[in-house]
Amino acid sequence: MVDQLNNNTVGKLGQKIRIERQKRKLSQEKLAEIADLNRNFIGMVERGETNITVKNLESIANAFKINIQDLFNFVI
């Protein structure tokens, strides 16, 4: 049950990142460049395939010029 909830949260966070990226008309490659992350990693995060560290989440939030907590504005 806990793993299912965690996977759901990771997936929803990935969807939120994808939505924010698309709103800004950024490619995964461009977001990765701005956030100083690997493009393949951005894709894995958006698909909910990997858990993201707070440090990397902060890099993405900074690339979007939003607060990190704004990335958690989704319904679990």
Predicted TM-score of the model (pTM) = 0.88
**Which residue carries 């907590």 as its tokens?**
69
- Band of residue 3 on the pLDDT scale cut at 50, 70, 90: low
Distances (CA, A) of 28 to 6, 10, 42, 69: 24, 18, 6, 21
Ordered structural domains, the chain, with CATH: 2-70 (1.10.260.40)
Question: Is residue 2 packed enough to be buried (19+ CB in 10 Å), middle (13-18) or exposed (0-12)?
Answer: exposed
pLDDT at residue 76, rounded to an integer: 57
